[in-house]
Amino acid sequence: MKLSPRLAEESNQKLNRRALLLGGAMGAMFAVLGGRMRYLQVDQADALQLLAEENRIAIRLIPPARGLILDRNGKLIGGNEQNYRVLITRESAGDVELVLKRLASLIPLTEDDLAQTLKEVKSLNPFVPVTVAERLSWTDFSKIALNAPSLPGVVPEVGLSRHYPLDYDFAHVVGYVGPVSEKDLAEIDGPDPLLSIPKFQIGKIGVERWLEDDLRGLAGTKRIEVNSAGRVMRELDREEGLAGTDIRLTIDADVQNFAQARLGEESAAVVVMDVTNGDIICCASAPSFDPNLFVRGISFAEYNALTENDHRPLANKAVSGAYPPGSTFKVVTALAALDAGATTAEDKVSCPGFIEFSGTKFHCWKHGGHGRVKLQRSLAESCDVYYYDMAQKVGIDKIAEMGRKLGLGQRHDLPMSAIATAAMPDKAWKLEKYKKDWRIGDTINASIGQGYVLASPLQLAVMTARIASGLAVVPRLVRAIGDQEVPIGEVLPLDIAVEHLAAVRDGMNAVVNSDQGTGKSSRIVEPTMAMAGKTGTSQVRNISAAERETGVVANDDLPWNRRDHALFVGFAPYDAPRYAVAVVVEHGGGGALAAAPIARDVILRALYGGLPPLEAYPESQRGRIDTMLKELPLRDPVTGMAPVRTKA
């Protein structure tokens, strides 16, 4: 049927519109295809060519920068340094042994190094990179980069490694890092993927260990492209991790350095504590060691030298050492007797040089005795018989209760390793530990800090700080984590009568500042800095009756390890206490001779904020003190550069 002209025109218009729409759609499709082809053939030509050569994409973890450790004033204690290292990946290396041999021809690698690397490579997933060597010189690092085509699976890399610029001064406090061990992994619930990286280092002791989670940070990732030979072609992208949190300690690095230098080669420890808030200003243990040795890989010879040293440089004596406190403990017995109402500061006790109980003589250090003494003189001259008498009147349970109130027999919660609880014994303690009843002789020995009583220098510093301030101060080592100051908890008054504390402080003042005081040679003559304290000497051997009859052998005539320990505790200034100090010198002999002078020098360094002025010392000692201060191997306070040291 023939269409009318009008209908034919409308039909033609519809066909034209459909043709245009279809043509446009086809044109758009061809444009997209053309654009895609151009993108693949031109823009992505290099990428596709690499893929055609069997390139692969690998994702690797990026270890974060470890958080810094700083002293109270922001001085760097533990930081990071650039480390040139080389890694190998089994998946990309192919013949690992052959590649390692080629690598050994370029850089120094021992047979042991190669065997250890091969063992690690075979024990891990094939795509996990293994560190072959680190801390390479720039020359060796460049050799590897230049020979990369013949070293499939080998990647030279620049990373960060832990470094301790103040080495010996903070070895025991800060500790060190080392490679993750099986033991470490077994102790961690849900270990961080970072810990699976071969030779990844974590804190092993000290602050590094106990604040590991804060210091470690979070891993980053990077996508790299490698070809069929295992050579890294390029880094596609990376997502940086989160650096670890910085930690600021309460310790003053300059005071710490002074204390370490002052202790010298003694087997000793010193703790300085702020009596107002518990801040640990100094926590030194001697002899010390270089923690950088453990980070870099300590040799057998170096490690044996440390472990075989009879002065035990690896031990943190300041917190882990447990010593009979000797006469420094007399302040505890005195406070227990006063608190129990067994005596007053004015009551007198007769000291003939010994007391006898059940056929056993308990001697005073002064053979002829002290005569009639009251509390102040008993502390000043350290009369043993006075405390034997107090012990019988008050009993061990009251003495132990007072000791614990002053911080003895307690493990103080600080981020350091091997903190000792030591021993503040009572009747129940002995029955539980030894299945034996407590005897009066045990009480008499305990009253002068012998027998079962043990204390660490940290505990003795806490005890002294509490007596000096009348507050139940708690020691703290961390001042800030990141930007957040660590709050100081509420410091409550001690549950001890003010007049009793005053009486004991008066006696401690007489120890140092009276003409008869056992610590008089270590007095501070500057009135505003005057120090009060208590000397102590603790026996490490039994003295027989026969030896007493013929004369007790002097410490200097005994082998070093059979000599008495020397102790001193003190605080200053006496009128407005700021710092407490505790010093223990192992086998140092008398506390007055070996420990008290160290305590005086260190507390003066803390008080003055610099080298103590000679005017603070008795005039007769100034020449000797001047020479001693000039010869101390101190760091430069500005540059932190250390003098040359001999190894422990």
CB atoms within 10 A of CB 152: 22
pLDDT at position 2, please? Answer: 56
pLDDT at position 190, please? Answer: 73
pLDDT at position 15, please? Answer: 58
Q: What is the dihedral of CA 507, 508, 512, 516, to 10 degrees?
A: 30
Q: End-to-end CA distance of the chain, in Å?
A: 118
CATH class of the domain whose range is 57-249: alpha beta
Q: Which two tokens stand for residue 20?
A: 């245009």
pLDDT at position 647, please? Answer: 45
CB atoms within 10 A of CB 600: 28
pLDDT at position 630, please? Answer: 95
Average pLDDT over residues 16-25: 67
Average pLDDT over residues 131-155: 83
Average pLDDT over residues 128-146: 83
- Kindly tell me the sign of the dihedral angle through the C-alpha atoms of 380, 383, 389, 392: positive
Average pLDDT over residues 513-520: 97
pLDDT digits (tens, 9 = 90+) for 321-352: 999 999 999 999 999 999 999 999 999 999 99
pLDDT over 80 at 550, yes or no: no
pLDDT digits (tens, 9 = 90+) for 484-499: 999 998 899 999 999 9
pLDDT at position 646, please? Answer: 47
HSE-up of 306 (CA within 13 Å, CB side)?
16
pLDDT over 90 at 219, yes or no: no
pLDDT at position 432, please? Answer: 96
CB atoms within 10 A of CB 236: 13
pLDDT digits (tens, 9 = 90+) for 97-128: 888 888 888 888 888 888 888 888 888 777 77
pLDDT at position 374, please? Answer: 97
pLDDT over 80 at 51, yes or no: no
Q: Which two tokens stand for residue 177?
A: 């890092």
User: Given 92, 267, 327, 456, which residue is catalytic?
Assistant: 327
Higher pLDDT, 574 or 15: 574
Contact 193, 219 (CB under 8 A): yes
Classify residue 324 by its DSSP letter.
Answer: -
The span from the CA of 102 to the CA of 437, in Å, is 72
pLDDT over 90 at 410, yes or no: yes
HSE-up of 551 (CA within 13 Å, CB side)?
4
pLDDT at position 225, please? Answer: 75
pLDDT digits (tens, 9 = 90+) for 162-209: 999 999 999 999 999 998 888 888 887 777 888 877 778 999 999 999
pLDDT over 60 at 69, yes or no: yes
* Helix residue ranges per DSSP H, 84-237: 90-93, 96-104, 111-123, 138-146, 167-174, 182-186, 206-210, 212-216
Average pLDDT over residues 230-245: 78
pLDDT digits (tens, 9 = 90+) for 607-637: 999 999 999 999 999 999 999 999 999 998 7
Cβ neighbours of residue 590 closer than 8 Å, sequence gap 6 or more: 535, 537, 555, 564, 566
How many residues are given for the chain? 648
Domain boundaries along the sequence of the chain: 57-249, 253-305+312-631
The span from the CA of 20 to the CA of 48, in Å, is 37
Angle (CA) 402 467 611, round 5°: 140
pLDDT digits (tens, 9 = 90+) for 475-486: 999 999 999 999
- pTM score, whole prediction: 0.84
Q: What percent of the chain shows pLDDT beyond 70? A: 88
pLDDT over 60 at 459, yes or no: yes
Q: Which two tokens stand for residue 147?
A: 């020979």
Does the annotation mark 327 as catalytic? yes
Higher pLDDT, 373 or 11: 373
Which single residue is written with the structure tokens 């030979």? Answer: 229
Phi, psi of 236 (to 5 degrees): -80, -50
Q: Which CATH architecture group holds 253-305+312-631?
A: 3-Layer(aba) Sandwich (3.40)
Q: Report how far apart, in Å, the C-alpha atoms of 507 and of each of 58, 152, 519, 583 are.
A: 73, 77, 12, 19
The span from the CA of 488 to the CA of 471, in Å, is 13
pLDDT at position 202, please? Answer: 93
Helix, strand or coil, per DSSP, at residue 558: coil
Angle (CA) 518 524 526, round 5°: 150
Average pLDDT over residues 265-294: 97
Pairing of strands 354-357, 360-363: antiparallel
pLDDT at position 542, please? Answer: 65
Pairing of strands 69-70, 247-249: parallel
pLDDT over 80 at 233, yes or no: no
pLDDT at position 24, please? Answer: 67
Which single residue is written with the structure tokens 């170096």? Answer: 302
CB atoms within 10 A of CB 626: 12
pLDDT at position 43, please? Answer: 65
The span from the CA of 350 to the CA of 363, in Å, is 13
Helix, strand or coil, per DSSP, at residue 3: coil
pLDDT over 80 at 6, yes or no: no
pLDDT at position 648, please? Answer: 46
Average pLDDT over residues 268-293: 97
Cβ burial, residue 467 (10 Å; 0-12/13-18/19+): buried
Residue among 606, 173, 217 nearest 414 (CA):
173
541: confidence class by pLDDT, cuts 50, 70, 90: low
